Homo-oligomer: A and B are copies of this chain.
Amino acid sequence: MDHYLDQLDGIFQALADPTRRAVLARLGKGPASISDLAEPFDMALPSFMKHIHFLEGSGLIQTRKQGRVRTCIIEKQRFQAVEAWLSQQRSLWEGRTDRLEQFVTKAQAEGD
């Protein structure tokens, strides 16, 4: 299950930017096109696109182009890497070694 903790650098880095977190919040409600996502931000489109690419590179979103429109969707499973890391960290405070395993097992059972 090590792979849960593998790409944390990129994930946390992606989450460190408020524009990108806002995009994730928007995508949490459902898919959206680049234009729709970019609209609230006072930013040139190429600049905004870099955030989208960063999010896609970290695996937190997926995108697909149909015609001239690229649609973005959130990748919920990716957030489990963060939850797993938090859980592992917590297990250290609590002096347990079984919590990460519990979390992962539970998450899988829930089909999340």
Contacts and interface: CB of A to CB of B under 8 A. Distances in A.
A3 to B, nearest CB: 15
Interface in A15-61: 15-18, 21, 24-25, 28-29
A106 B1 CA distance: 29
B25 A16 contact: no
Contact of A85 (B8, B21, B90): B21
Given A28-B89, A29-B92, A86-B86, 8 more contacts: A8-B21, A9-B16, A9-B17, A25-B89, A74-B93, A79-B90, A82-B82, A82-B86
29 contacts: A8-B15, A8-B16, A8-B18, A8-B21, A9-B16, A9-B18, A12-B12, A12-B13, A12-B16, A13-B13, A13-B16, A16-B16, A21-B85, A24-B89, A25-B88, A25-B89, A25-B92, A28-B89, A28-B92, A28-B93, A29-B92, A74-B93, A76-B93, A79-B86, A79-B89, A82-B82, A82-B86, A83-B86, A86-B86
